[in-house]
Amino acid sequence: MNILWISNILLPDISLYLNQPVSFGGGWMFSSLSAIKQQGPNNEYAVLCFSNIVNSLITKKINNITYYVMPEFCKKNRNQNIEYCKIITKSFNPNLVHIHGTEQENAYYFLNANPDLEYVVSIQGLLSVCSRYYLSHLNRIRLLKYTTIYELIKHCTIFDGQKSYKRKGKTELKLIQSVNNIIGRTEWDKAHTWAINSNATYYFCNETLRPSFYNKKWEYNNCEPYSIFISQAKNPIKGFHVFLKALPLIIEKYPQTRVYIGSSLDLNPHKLKEKIKMGSYAKYLRYLIKKYNLEDKIVCYNGLSEAQMCNQYLKCNVFVSSSAIENSPNSVGEAQLLGVPTISSYVGGVGSMITHDKTGFYYRYDEPELLAYHVCNIFAGNYSKSILEQEQIEAQRRHDPKTNALQMLNIYNTIYNKK
């Protein structure tokens, strides 16, 4: 069987070939593909990636996987890109096209260019739903006050961000309505895809995560006491502004608390260009940090590698996911795989990953008091250590590479044999 993956990000091998940094998402997708390839060696695999670092279609075979890279669709290149899509189909002759994520519009245009192929879509997030929560619990008047001329000229205000989610969400709905097969992993994505296209067949398959997280174990004696790790904070969907409202309550009890953020978030730019580009949401976060006197409590890292990210999980006293909406956050899965004390907002598909007080803790997204309560309990050691053992056992089962690869191959074969 010839299986073509469609990805909106560059996977590691092709990233390195093009002299590009390996993205966060690229790591876990490559882990999944490697496991599938190992369990299904008789299939042929290809990956189509969209990236504006190229101006035309590029083809490269690396480690027996054929990579196609083409520019993202836009009005200027749409006709040319449609031709590229047809060239890829003619060259690889896929029996099945596996679209990873509905968040971008490129895959929908590929489907329109090749409507007679067999498709299956894996749900990552759902922008049509996430757009509802983009500005959740944000002071819109203050955001307007912080909006810059640069943002207005470039149409990149936080309000434009929500509009982009809504616009892409419309294409996402069309894509889901156009396919007969959907892969998901939570009750949340099953319910929402059913609401969009109840005629599609839903297949369950968990995700395989990055390899560094499978063979290490968190130990309290090796962590930095009273430290909190948050993997991402730049996107308002991640709810860092709500977390900041919980932090003063935590510091009141534990003044030595420190917060580490795994993604770049420059709240005090020094260069003129960086100051001009600083967005309204970043300014809003800076306002909250100053309001609550948190300047010396927060450390931001700029682009941690897979190994560095893993070490940061192991170093922290507790991991927190404070998102307004998620499907099944890989950051939570990685924390659980390592056995890190884990707290998450109870949103989206998180309930399919955490059983409260058994494999982690969750709280209502808009109740920072409850978040602070759980963090302080973990700092005090007021929780059963069996929770850490159970979350790791459950995460190892859920994210087992071989099991997930065999399940994915079974899905491929089922769809192929239906024709």
H or E stretch covering 402: helix 401-418
CA 231 to chain centre: 10
Do 242 and 375 sit in the same domain of this protein?
A: yes
Amino acid at the residue 330 = N
pLDDT in tens, 96-107: 999 999 988 899
Q: Does the pLDDT value for residue 277 go beyond 90? A: no
Q: Does the pLDDT value for residue 250 go beyond 70? A: yes
Do 216 and 123 sit in the same domain of this protein?
A: no
CA distance 188 to 215: 30
Compute the average pLDDT of residues 314-338.
Answer: 98
DSSP alpha helices (H): ranges in 93-229?
106-113, 127-130, 140-146, 149-154, 158-178, 187-196
Do 174 and 225 sit in the same domain of this protein?
A: no
Do 194 and 70 sit in the same domain of this protein?
A: yes
Number of domains, the chain: 2
CA distance 330 to 342: 12
C-alpha dihedral, 137 to 140 to 144 to 147, nearest 10°: 20
Do 171 and 227 sit in the same domain of this protein?
A: no
Nearest to 209 by CA among 346, 3, 404, 340: 404
pLDDT in tens, 196-231: 999 999 999 999 999 999 999 999 999 999 999 999
CA distance 90 to 134: 40
Do 236 and 380 sit in the same domain of this protein?
A: yes
Do 393 and 407 sit in the same domain of this protein?
A: no
Average confidence score pLDDT of the chain? 95
Residues 6 or more apart whose Cβ sits within 8 Å of residue 380: none
Phi/psi for 368 (5° steps) reads: -60, -25
pLDDT in tens, 136-169: 999 999 999 999 999 999 999 999 999 999 999 9
pLDDT band at 269 (very low <50, low <70, confident <90, very high): confident
Compute the average pLDDT of residues 353-382.
Answer: 97
Compute the average pLDDT of residues 183-207.
Answer: 98
Do 275 and 385 sit in the same domain of this protein?
A: yes
The torsion region of residue 29 among left (phi > 0), alpha (psi -120 to 50) and beta comes to alpha
Q: Does the pLDDT value for residue 266 go beyond 80? A: no
Say what the pTM is: 0.94
Do 12 and 128 sit in the same domain of this protein?
A: yes
Do 339 and 239 sit in the same domain of this protein?
A: yes
pLDDT at 8: 85
Q: What is the CATH number of the domain that holds 382?
A: 3.40.50.2000
Do 8 and 77 sit in the same domain of this protein?
A: yes
pLDDT at 25: 65
Q: Does the pLDDT value for residue 28 go beyond 90? A: no
Do 128 and 216 sit in the same domain of this protein?
A: no
Question: Which domain range does residue 236 map to?
Answer: 212-398
